[in-house]
Structure 1
Amino acid sequence: MMNLLNENLTLAPCKYEYLDHTADVQLHAWGNSLKEAFEQCGIAMFGYMTNLSTVEVQAVHTIEASGHDLESLLFHFLDELLFLFSCDPFLICNKLVISEFNTEGEEFRIECKCYGEEFTLGKHPQGTEVKAITYSAMQIIIEPEQNNYEVFVIIDI
């Protein structure tokens, strides 16, 4: 575990919402960059599992994800975050900082620092379990001329 006192732990503003979807939920996240939209989408997923205001930063983990295009990169990124939560101990994150966001070449790649703590019933309200990430109706909107970057992802609950 790294020294958390040296990290900038200011939480990012909430730039996501939950959209109803038959038997599932759609995450809609946005940002001033595609990287920020990806970070917000990951936070939205964790926010669906618990109230993030109850999460303290007691641990930092780094995850890596890669893909052959933006959709597969987003899928694998969220899948790695879900795996992080599914491990023992379960890690719930309230801040994500993508330190590497490579979307050029043959392999797109993300490296992300995940800030949070072990999920504990009693401390963290139990939200809805996320079973899987899906490609269904996945959208990535990139409109740099309007400073608009959005992602839509359906998660299986």
Structure 2
Amino acid sequence: MRYRFIDHTADVAFEAFGNSLEELIENATYAFYEAFVYTEKLDENRELDVNVDADSPDYLLYNWLNYLLFAFDTEFFGGKKVEFVKVEEDGILKATGKIKVGTLRPEIVKVEPKAVTLHDFVVEKKNGGWYAYVVIDI
């Protein structure tokens, strides 16, 4: 299982899973776009390069998702396919990646995300892999 949505009273919540931190970020990316975009209607006519850093895995994912939200809001980008995610550690964690994206149109957007929250936000090693719980304000 890559991710699953969790019932939440007023926001969008999901759990993401991965065998590595890279795979966790990739699966969280798919969950993010699946929650807010009819991805089957989205053209893949552009690429989004993502570069974020942080001092811990939880803030790395948090910063990554905020970058996706920023591109959603300012460039009207919706993602369909993650080309790659790479995480390196050199005193600080750095994540880079490339996502095939298309330009959002009103009929493609399910609901608009407002903010990635830190409410109950978790990234941890669990059962031999990585686990994340994310709540996004809508």
Global fold match (TM > 0.5): yes
Among 121, 132, 135, which residue is 1:151 paired with? 132
Please identify runs of 4+ aligned residues in structure 1 that moved more than 3 A: none
Match of 2:43 in 1: 56
Contact kept, 8 Å, 2:6 with 2:14, in 1: the verdict is: yes
Match of 1:5 in 2: none
Counterpart Cα distance in 1 of 2:62 and 2:68 = 10
Shift in Å at residue 82 of structure 1?
A: 0.7
TM (norm. structure 2) is 0.89
- Partner amino acid, structure 2, of 1:45: F
Runs (5+) with no aligned partner, structure 2? none
Please state whether the residue corresponding to 2:134 is helix, strand or coil.
strand
Match of 1:129 in 2: 112
RMSD: 1.7
- Partner amino acid, structure 2, of 1:68: D
Match of 1:84 in 2: 71
Matched, 1:71 2:58: yes
Counterpart Cα distance in 1 of 2:102 and 2:22 = 23
Please state whether the residue corresponding to 1:21 is helix, strand or coil.
coil
Structure 1 residues 119 and 18, CA, compared in 2 at 3 Å: closer, same or farther? Answer: same
Structure index of larger Rg: 1
TM (norm. structure 1) is 0.79
**Quick check: 37-46 or 15-24, which moved more?**
15-24
Match of 1:112 in 2: 97
Contact kept, 8 Å, 2:26 with 2:82, in 1: the verdict is: yes
Please state whether the residue corresponding to 1:57 is helix, strand or coil.
coil
Match of 2:31 in 1: 44
Please state whether the residue corresponding to 2:98 is helix, strand or coil.
strand
Contact kept, 8 Å, 2:124 with 2:132, in 1: the verdict is: yes
